């Protein structure tokens, strides 16, 4: 998977498929295109609704269906309301790295019992739906506009760090490399089961934190039932 994310100097970059092209998806696509990646944008309303976004992104972008993004993306970003996760095509994502940005908002998604009782996490639900994929949770705890404003070069003092969670170490390494390209340090929160540590209403959800402060925020996280 790591090899998919990199290319020799002057060679074409890999393709990132986006299932969901809203605030997070469109800002991540801008970062990707600026760094030479090709992107395939999709949403629930059809490719024809994405022509303005694709024109803004430039030659490295094109619109397609969710099936196109899943099939043709070397890496695929799933950035949709959690209630719609069942619509993500699973078969073409088998064997691929899937970046999950989803959060659980009951007022939007409806109540999901196993999230309400905290017996599982959002990204574990995504992984369950995509059993053949390697899911990594990231980008869910940063305001979308800050994706394109807060990135800084590696080594910058107090560089902003973003947490990740995943069960596949190679997939997490690939995501850490992508984060570095996008201007952020990585803090590994552990397996998908630990992704709750940077879900909504936790100390790690929202603020600009450097790596050490992010680790502390993750350590201090409390389950909703204990808040």
CB 70 within 8 A of CB 76: yes
CB 206 within 8 A of CB 188: no
pLDDT digits (tens, 9 = 90+) for 81-113: 999 999 999 999 999 999 999 999 999 999 999
3-state secondary structure of 165: strand
pTM over 0.85: yes
pLDDT digits (tens, 9 = 90+) for 39-62: 999 999 999 999 999 999 999 999
Query: Quick one: pLDDT at residue 226?
Result: 86
Residue 4 has pLDDT above 50, yes or no: no
Residue 9 has pLDDT above 70, yes or no: no
Residue 188 pairs in a beta bridge with 164
In angstroms, rounded to a whole number, what is the distance separating the alpha carbons of residues 83 and 41? Answer: 20
Q: Is 139 left (phi over 0), alpha (psi -120 to 50) or beta?
A: left
Q: How far is residue 46 from each of residues 20, 102, 136, measured CA to CA in Å?
A: 11, 21, 26
β-pairing verdict for 185-188 and 134-137: unpaired
Query: Quick one: pLDDT at residue 29?
Result: 98
Give me 166's structure tokens.
Answer: 């995943």
Q: pLDDT > 90: what percent of the chain?
A: 93
Mean pLDDT over all residues of the chain? 94
Give me 105's structure tokens.
Answer: 């908002």
In angstroms, rounded to a whole number, what is the distance separating the alpha carbons of residues 151 and 43? Answer: 26
| Distance separating the N- and C-terminal Cα atoms of the chain | 38
In angstroms, rounded to a whole number, what is the distance separating the alpha carbons of residues 72 and 96? Answer: 11
pLDDT digits (tens, 9 = 90+) for 186-222: 999 999 999 999 999 999 999 999 999 999 999 999 9
In angstroms, rounded to a whole number, what is the distance separating the alpha carbons of residues 117 and 166? Answer: 21
Query: Residue 74: which of 39, 26, 36 has the closest Cα?
Result: 39
| Confidence grade of residue 224 (pLDDT, cut at 50, 70, 90) | confident
| Confidence grade of residue 3 (pLDDT, cut at 50, 70, 90) | very low
Give me 42's structure tokens.
Answer: 């999709």
């Amino acid at each position: 998977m790591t090899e998919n994310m990199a290319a020799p100097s002057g060679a074409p970059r890999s393709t990132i498929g986006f299932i969901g092209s809203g605030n997070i998806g469109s800002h991540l696509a801008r970062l990707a295109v600026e760094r030479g990646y090709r992107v395939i944008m999709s949403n629930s309303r059809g490719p024809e609704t994405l022509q303005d976004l694709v024109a803004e992104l430039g030659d490295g972008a094109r619109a397609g269906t969710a099936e196109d993004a899943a099939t043709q993306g070397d890496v695929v970003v799933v950035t949709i309301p959690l209630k719609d996760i069942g619509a993500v095509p699973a078969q073409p994502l088998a064997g691929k790295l899937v970046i999950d940005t989803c959060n659980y908002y009951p007022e939007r998604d409806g109540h999901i019992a196993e999230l309400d009782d905290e017996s599982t996490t959002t990204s574990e639900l995504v992984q369950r739906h995509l059993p053949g994929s390697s899911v990594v949770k990231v980008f869910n705890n940063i305001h979308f506009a800050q994706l394109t404003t807060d990135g800084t070069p590696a080594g910058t003092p107090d560089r902003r760090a973003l947490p990740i969670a995943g069960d596949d170490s190679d997939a997490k390494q690939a995501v850490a490399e992508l984060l570095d390209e996008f201007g952020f340090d990585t803090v590994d929160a552990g397996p998908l089961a630990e992704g709750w540590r940077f879900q909504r209403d936790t100390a790690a959800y929202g603020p600009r934190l450097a790596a050490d402060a992010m680790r502390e925020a993750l350590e201090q996280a409390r389950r909703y039932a204990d808040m």
